[in-house]
Every structure is written in C-alpha cells, then in structure tokens.
Amino acid sequence: MRLLEQTGLAALHRLDPERAHDLSLRALQAGIVPLPGQPFTTPRITVRPGGLDLPNPVGLAAGYDKNARVLGPLMRAGFGFVEVGAATPRPQPGNPRPRLFRLTEDRAIINRFGFNNEGIEPIAARLAARMPGIPVGLNIGANKDSADRAADFALVARRAAPLADFLTINVSSPNTERLRELQGARALSALIAGVIAARDDSGARPPVFVKIAPDLDDAALAELAAVLRDSQAAGVIATNTTLDRAGIASPQAGQAGGLSGAPLFDRSTRVVARLYRLLEGRLPIIGVGGIGSVDQAWAKIEAGAAAIQLYTGLIYQGFSLAERIARGLDARLMVAGKTLADLTGSDAQRWAR
C-alpha cells in the first residue's frame, strides 16, 4: 500500500501542481487510492473539541476538497474529521492561473487560489448526501466582489448549518483582498455574532470555529483572543497560511500567495501556544501548519492544540500520513501513561516564547 502511494505521488509531482491536485481528487472519486477505511482510534486519542466527537485528533484542513466532491473517500482516509471549502454564496473562478506552486526544497507550497469554488448550493447538496461517519465541517467565506462580506458569511452559515457538523469562519486567507481586515476586534466580533445568528435561524446549532492567520503580532493576537473569549465561537483554528518568506530556499519563494508546509511549523505553533495562554483554557484550539510527522503533531498538541489538521504534508507524504500520526500519538501516549487531554498545552510556556 505504501509503495503504491509513493509511486502515485512521484507521478503527480511530475505534473503541474494544480493539475496534480485535480487528478488526486479524480483518483479518490474513482476509488483507486488505497485508504484504510475506519479511522484508527483508542480511548487515549479520542477528543471532543468544541463539542465535536472525534475518534482521533488528526483532521484534514480546508482547501483540499473545496467543493466537497470526494467526501466519501475522505471519510475513509484515516482522518478523525474533515473540513471542506471554503464555500462562498455564489460560484467564483478564483485568481488567474498559475496559482499553485510546489517548493520542493522547502517541503512547502504557495497558493493564491482566491476562494475558487462552485458556490454554496452544489456544496450543500453534497453535504446533505453524505453517508454517516466522522464529523465533516465547512469552511465559509465571502465572494471577492461582495459589497457586504459579513452578509455573505451569514448566508453561507444559514444554508450550511443543518448539513455540516461544524462551520469555520475564514477571515485569514491572504488571497482575497482585504479579507484579513475582518480579524480586527470590532469587525470580528460583529462577524461572529452575525454568523451565530444566521446559524440559529437555520434551526441547527453546529459549533462555529474561527480560523486565524499566523502573521498577527502579540497585540493583535491578544485583542483577537479577547473577542473570542466574549463570543459564542466554539473554538479557534490556528493557523492559515503565511505571507512571510524568511528562510525559503526555493526559487518559487517570490510568488505571491500564502505559504504552507514545513517552514510554517514554528510560526504557527508559537501562535497556538500564545493563544492557548491568552484563552486560559476557555476555547479549544485546532492546530494546523507544517505538520509532517508524529513528533510535530506531538509538539503542536503540547503547545496547546486539542486536535490538529493536515494538508501540505499530504502532498509530500500521501494520505497514509493521517493514520501514521494517529497511531504514533497513541503509541507515545501509552508509553507516557497519558491521554491526549493530558498532553494539550503541557509545553505551551516554552513554545510561547
């Protein structure tokens, strides 16, 4: 199984990155990708962040399956939960191609997709048609040309709330002009309240998470934490991609867009740790950014993450990475005589420096 996966990855890496991305989705649809089936789970690694019952803490981050095209296969890929999207009210093509770049030397990618998606209606239909299984969430966004982006978030939340197990307010993508301005205290507070109200209007109450950028300074992060503590958000996803290029070796480093992968690990993990301390345990954090091994997953959880998400690591290692991390975490916890909850935040002070 691993050899087949490595062969497939090598073939995909010979292609244009966006074409490879689309082909990987088609391969999942066709059933030719080896998948483990049920997620690996034990009592040591079950976790309940924000009310989500997760069989293991390893999730798929938003951005891979933007249109919820392959929910069935992804729910059998070893993840404890899956996030799809981002979805906007109306379809939009996103930014011009090329807009996805591999930085192989750095085990990273840069993307400037710009919320390309089919719009909420077809995505909602696919969410409604999925079979029961692990939690599936929807990352929600606003159309690039919208005159009222807060209203866009509310519209998508109202439509998707009865169909998704959780919603994520995405105010941190660097690829939609001025979107990150919604991370300011006043704008974010109003945005969360609007999404919560729209969710409640739908008659459903899935937990609502907020996804933040890794490029916030300490003052902005403290301000954001205060807003989150006073809101009805169920948790935080930290972090999205970065605009920073420090230490990048690839000649593609100058491409515009958000950087993800290995170079993001330290930056995003520091944000997790600082946020963990600022939130004082009131809200769970889902840690994402640069995770490509059991050691890195362990460190992210020690810094304060209750669960984690993968994306770029899968591009270089394949879907089997999810189960390897889940099994590796469980093995280390068994030796340590701990549960995942014991580990969460146990080294936040060191990472927050």
214 close to 238: Cβ distance less than 8 angstroms: yes
Task: Determine whether 173 is an active site residue.
Answer: yes
Q: What is the pLDDT of residue 202?
A: 98
Write down the residue that tokens 């009310």 correspond to: 51
User: Taking the domains of the chain in order of start, what are their residue ranges?
Assistant: 39-351
Q: What is the pLDDT of residue 177?
A: 64
Q: Which residues of 272-299 are buried (b: 16+ CB within 10 A; e: fewer)?
A: bbbbbbbbeeebbbbbbbbbbbbebbbb
Nearest to 158 by CA among 201, 211, 210: 201
Domain 39-351 CATH superfamily:
Aldolase class I (3.20.20.70)
C-alpha dihedral sign at 163, 77, 57, 260: negative
H or E, element range at 268: helix 265-279
Nearest to 170 by CA among 200, 121, 124, 212: 212
Nearest to 240 by CA among 9, 105, 47, 61: 61
> pLDDT (tens digit, 0 to 9) for every residue of the chain, 353 residues total?
578 899 999 999 999 999 999 999 999 999 999 999 999 999 999 999 999 999 999 999 999 999 999 999 999 999 999 999 999 999 999 999 999 999 999 999 999 999 999 999 999 999 999 999 999 999 999 999 999 999 999 999 999 999 999 999 998 777 676 666 777 788 899 999 999 999 999 999 999 999 999 999 999 999 999 999 999 999 999 999 999 999 999 999 999 999 999 999 999 999 999 999 999 989 999 999 999 999 999 999 999 999 999 999 999 999 999 999 999 999 999 999 999 999 999 999 999 99
d(CA 166, CA 50): 9
pTM over 0.85: yes
Q: What is the pLDDT of residue 180?
A: 67
Q: What is the pLDDT of residue 185?
A: 84
Encoding tokens for residue 175?
Answer: 């690829």
- Backbone torsions φ then ψ of 139, nearest 5 degrees: -85, 125
Strand partners, 300: none
Catalytic residue, candidates 173, 231, 260, 320: 173
Q: What is the pLDDT of residue 184?
A: 78
